[in-house]
Amino acid sequence: MDPIHNQEIIKVIRLFKRITFFYAVFILFTSSVKGQTYYFDYYSVKEGLAQSKVYSVIQENQGYLWIGTESGVSKFDGVTFINYTTEDGLAEGGVKTLFKDSNGSIWMGHKSGGISVFINGEISIHPISSIIKGDITSFIEDNEKQLWVTTYGDGLIRIDNPYELDASKLTYEQYKGKRLSDRVVTSTKAFGDTLFFVTDLGIKKFNKSENSFSNYLPKGLTSYFPTTMMHQDRKGDIWFGTFHGGLYRYILKENKFVIYDSRDGLANNWISTIIEDSNGNIWVGTWGGGVTKFSGDSYKTYNNINGLIDPKIYCINEDVEGNILIGTNEHGLAVFKGEKFITYSTADGLADQQIWSVIEDKYKNFWFGTNKGISVYNPTAKEPSKKFTYYNQEKNSVGNQIRFLKNDRDGNLWVGTNDNGLNMYDFSTGRFIYNMVVNRYINSLIVTALDIDRQNQLWVGTIDGLVYYDINNDKSTILTQINGLSGNEISSIYVDSKDKVWVGVVNKGLNFIQDTLIKQVDIEGLLTPECMVEDKDGNIWIGTNNKGIFVYNGNQVIRTITQNDGLLSNLITQLNIDIENNIYVGTSQGLNKIDNKGNIHTYTEKSGFTGIEAKKNATYRDNDGNLWFGTVKGVVKYQPKMEIDVPKEPLTHISKLRVNLKDRIMKSDQKFNYRENSIIFDYNSICLTNPDAVKYQIMLDPADHEWRPVTDQTMVNYSSLAPDKYTFKVKAMNSSGVWNTEPVTYTFTISPPFYKSWWFISAIIILGSIGIISYIKVREKNLIKEKRILEEKVAERTAEVVQKSIEIEKKNKDITDSIKYAKRIQTAVLPPEIPFENTFVLYRPKDIVSGDFYWLETVGNKEMIAAVDCTGHGVPGAFLAILGHSMLTKIVREYGILQPAEILDRLDVEIISALHQKDVTGERIVNDGMDLAIMCYNKDTQILEYAGAYNPLFHIRNGELEEIKADRFPIGMTNILENKKFTNHEIKIEKGDAFYIFSDGYADQFGGDDGRKLRKKNMKDLIVSYQNIPMKEQSKELENYIVNWMANYEQVDDIVVIGRGF
C-alpha cells in the first residue's frame, strides 16, 4: 500500500479518535445528561433546587453555596434555596461553570456563551457575552487579576479589566483558531502562575512573555486517550484525567507517572473532574462510576453500592467545614460529610432494625441484640454469606428480645433478655446456657439492666430487685428495698473504675454498692437514672428520662446539662466516652458529643447519624476506639479518628428585612418613620454539616434587656416598636458547639411623629406655659372674690349641718340599739350550750343579727339538730330566723312530730301560712323561705334520720365522704312547687361515723390568692382532712381556715356549720 495513503489513513483514524473524544466531552458539558453504607445528603428539586442536573458548585465568602444547573443558578444557605433566572438578571442558558475570584465576586458561565457576574449583591450580564456564542467551560484568574474565559467554540478570552461593565471601556484579547483552538475544555493554574488549557488539540501551556501557547505532553502521559482534566496538588504532583483512559498522576519528586484505572479500583476510566480538599486528599469524579478519593497511597471509591446514588459526576468541591460537594447528573447536589458515621441495617444483613445492645467478643466479632434475636457480624469474612450469624429463640432457645450483652472476665458472653431471662454463650461449645440460679429471681424473665464488676460478679436488674451472681461460685442472691435500696424496679446498673456498683431505680433515684455497703444517693430532681458513664476524673455522668444529665463527683452534683444548654433532648438513653474524654449522649432525637472543653456538638440524620432515636444503653466502645450506637434504624458506628472538627465560627447573616410586611433593602443606620414600626428579621447561619443543629440567640437593644433563650427559629417579628434607635443582634452556634464571638448586628432608627419632635414639644411647652400663667392670674383674681362670698355662705350652712348631724346621730343610735336588742333576743332564742356529746356548732353571722340559725332539741330518746338558712341576712333574715326557730320548737313540742321529713312538711305549711304567701285566690304574695337540713338521732335504735330542703348531709365513714342529697325545693316560696313532699333518709350509726349539716355561707365565701369561691368540693376535702381530731378542734380548724381564706375579703353571707360525731 502507498505510504502516503497509509499516512492519510492514520491521520483519518487520529482525527476520528479526536472527534469522538471531544464529542463525548462536549456531551459531558452539554448533554441532558454490601457491608456498610456511607451517608450522603441530597438536595434536589424536592428540597427547592431549581433543577437536578448540577454542573458546578462553589461557596462564596459569606458561606452561601452557588449551584449552576440547567435552569440557571441557585443560592443555598443550608436550608433554603433562592433560584435565579433571566428574570433576575442572568444571561440566557443554563449555568455550566462557576468561579469565585480573589475579590469574592461570582462568575457564571452559561451555555450558548453568556457570562453573568454577581458583584456587590447584584447580578449583571457581562458585556463580553456579546462576542461569545459557544458554551463557557471554565474561568481562571492569574496573579495580575486578569480573568481568562475558556469556551467551546470561541476559544479563549483574556479580560484585562473584568469589573468594567461598560463595553466601550472593556479591554480583552481572544485566542482561537491556529493560535490555540476554538474548543477549550478547561483550564488550570499551576505553580508560578503557569496557565494550562486543555483543548481538543491537546494540552496547551501559556507563554506569558511571548503571549503564545505551546504544546504540553510530558513523557509518560497518554496521547491515545484524550485529556479531560488537569490539576496540580499542593505537593506539586499533577493529575491528568482522560476520556476512557483512566487517571494519570505525575509524581514530581520521583519524576514519574503512575496510572490508575478501573481495574485498580478507580471508579471509572472517564474522568470528569479532579479537586484537592483542605486535607490534601484528591477527589476524582467520573462519568458513570461515581467518585474515588485518594488519601496518600490508598484510595476508596464511593458509588451506588455504598451510598452515592448517582454515578455520573459533573463537579466536586469542598466547603469551609470540610464537606465534599458533588454535582450529579440526575440527583442534584450530593453532600458527603465524611466517614465518621457508618450505618449497618437490615439491608446490610442485620436480623432487625431495632438494635438494643452491642458488644465485641474476644474474636473481634460484633454481637447485636435485636427484637429478633442476636446478629453476629464478622468484619473480616470475605464471603457475604459468612458476614452474619443469627441466634434466636426458635433455633437456640436464647430468646428473641435481646436487651443486654456483656463479656465476663473468662471470655464468656452473657445475654440479658426481655423474654427469656439471663443466658450465657459458651464459646467452647457454641451453645447458650439458661442460668437457673439467676433466673429463679427474675419475674416474667425480664432483665432490666446488666453489668459485670472486676471480681467477675454479675449484677442483674429486674422489676423486683437487684440480683447479685457470683459467677465463679455459681451463687446468687437478690437485694431489694429491705436491704437498703431505694426501690425494687431497677432501671440501670453501672460498675465504675473503683468497682463501685451504681444502681438506678425507676422513680426512686440512685444507689451505690461498695463491698457490703448499700447507700442511697440524694440528688435533688433525680428520679429515674437511665444510663451512666464515668469520665477520666472519676465523675459519674447520669442520664435521666426527662431531666437531662447530672454530673456527680461522689459528693455533689457539679454540673447539670439539659436541652437549654444544647442537648437535643432531656430524654437521655445512652452515655459513652472515647479515649479523649469526650462524652457521647444518645437521645430520642439524635446524638450529642460533649467534648473535653465542655462544648456540645450535635449529630442528627443530616450529619450521618441516620438512626436518630438511640436505644437505651445500646452503646459500646470497641478495641479500636470506635463507638457503636444501637438505634431504631440499625446500628451506627462512629469513628472518632475520622472526625474532622473545624472549630470555625458560624457564618451568620441577617438575610432579610421586612417593614410592615414589605421587603426592604438593608442599609447602615437606616431610618423609618413612626408608622413603619413592625419589623421582621430573617437570619441564618450556614452549616451544611448539620443544619438541624444550628441554634441562635437574638436581641433587640434596647427593647430586649437581655439575650432571648436559645432557639432554632430563623425569623423574629417585632411589632409596634416605639420611636427609638435600635440594634438587632444575632449570634449562632454550629454543630461543633462553636458560637459567634461577636454577634451580627443591624442598626436602625424609628423616628417619632412631628408632634413628638423636640422642637414641637418645646413650642407647645412655651405656649402652654404662657397660657397657664395667664389663666392662673385671672383665676386667682376670681377666686379671691368667690372666696369672700363662699365664707359667708359656709358660716350660714355650717349651723344647719351641725343641727342635721345631731339629729342623724340620734336616729342612728336608736336604730343600732334596736338591732343590738334584736341580737339579744336572737341570742336568747338560740341554745347557749350544746347539749349533745361530740358535737360542734360553727356560727358566724355576717351582720349584727343573722338570717342563719341553728336549732337543737331533745325529745325523749331523740336528739334533733337543724342548720337553717333564711332568705336574706341582717335584720330581715333575723326576723325570719326567729319565726323559724319558734315554729320548729312548736312542731316538735306541741304537734309531737319527730320525723325530719314530716317536720319539714309541717314547717313548710306553717311558713306559708304565717307569711301569708297566698291570698284568698291562691296567688303568691310573699316570696320568702328557708333552706335547711335537719337530722334526728334515736339513741335507742342507733338510727339517724335526715331530711333537707336544698341543704345536703355529709356522712363520713372510714375516711370516705358520702353526700346525701336534699330535696330540690325550699321551705315556703309557693311558686316553686305546689305539692311539696320531703324525703326522709335513715342511716344506721356505726362507731366512728361523722355527720355535717350547714348553710351555704361557708362554701360560697370569696377569698384565696385569686378571689374565687371556696366551693363545696374544697369544703369536703377540708372536713375529710380533719377526721383525726376531735369535733371541737374541727370547729376551730374550720373557723381558722375560713378566716385565713377571707383575708382582706368581706364576709358575703351568714355561716353556720354543725358537726356530730359518734
- Please state, for a pLDDT cut of 70, what percent of the chain lies above it: 92
pLDDT of residue 15: 45
Confidence of residue 541 (pLDDT cuts 50, 70, 90): very high
Pairing mode, strands 614-621 and 600-603: unpaired
Identify the bridge partners of residue 574 per DSSP, sorted by sequence position: 586
Each residue of 565-614: pLDDT tens digit?
989 999 999 999 999 999 999 999 999 999 999 999 999 998 899 999 99
Tell whether 981 and 995 lie within a shared domain: yes
> How many structural domains compose the chain?
7
- Among all chains, which residue has been given the C-alpha cell 445492645? 357
Tell whether 558 and 620 lie within a shared domain: yes
In-domain check, residue 387: no
Domain stops at, among 776, 799, 829: 829
- Among all chains, which residue has been given the C-alpha cell 470555625? 648
Each residue of 630-650: pLDDT tens digit?
999 999 999 999 887 667 889
What one-letter code names the amino acid at 207? Answer: N
Tell whether 470 and 514 lie within a shared domain: yes
Provide the residue range defining the domain that includes 557: 420-642
Domain stops at, among 810, 829, 848: 829
In-domain check, residue 107: yes
Q: Which of 173-177, 190-194, 921-925, 973-977 has the lowest mean pLDDT?
A: 921-925
CATH number for 902: 3.60.40.10
- The three-point CA angle 221-222-228 to 5° equals 90
Each residue of 793-804: pLDDT tens digit?
887 777 677 777
CATH number for 331: 2.130.10.10
Tell whether 592 and 581 lie within a shared domain: yes
In-domain check, residue 771: yes
Angle between helix 874-893 and 900-914 (nearest 10): 130
- The three-point CA angle 614-307-610 to 5° equals 15
pLDDT of residue 534: 98
Each residue of 238-274: pLDDT tens digit?
999 999 999 999 999 999 999 999 999 999 999 999 9
Distance spanning both ends of the chain, measured CA to CA: 137
Tell whether 509 and 550 lie within a shared domain: yes
Per-residue exposure over 945-960, b if at least 16 CB sit within 10 Å of its own CB, e if not = bbbbbbbbbbbbbeee
Tell whether 43 and 14 lie within a shared domain: no
- Among all chains, which residue has been given the C-alpha cell 458547639? 737
Residues in the chain: 1062
Tell whether 705 and 767 lie within a shared domain: no
Per-residue pLDDT averaged across 985-1003, rounded?
95
Tell whether 166 and 275 lie within a shared domain: no
In-domain check, residue 394: no
Confidence of residue 758 (pLDDT cuts 50, 70, 90): confident
Each residue of 361-373: pLDDT tens digit?
999 999 999 999 9
- For the record, the C-alpha cell of 1016 comes out as 363545696
In-domain check, residue 7: yes
In-domain check, residue 391: no
In-domain check, residue 551: yes
CATH number for 723: 2.60.40.10
Per-residue pLDDT averaged across 300-313, rounded?
94
Tell whether 179 and 267 lie within a shared domain: no
Domain stops at, among 194, 215, 236: 215
Tell whether 859 and 933 lie within a shared domain: yes
In-domain check, residue 399: no
Tell whether 619 and 513 lie within a shared domain: yes
Identify the bridge partners of residue 601 per DSSP, sorted by sequence position: 593
Tell whether 487 and 596 lie within a shared domain: yes
| pLDDT surpassing 80 at residue 235 | yes
Q: Which of 75-89, 456-470, 646-660 has the lowest mean pLDDT?
A: 646-660
Rounded Cα–Cα distance for residues 406 and 399 (Å): 16
Per-residue pLDDT averaged across 70-97, rounded?
95
Residues 6+ apart with CB under 8 A from 1003: 1013, 1014, 1015, 1016, 1018, 1019
Residues 6+ apart with CB under 8 A from 380: 364
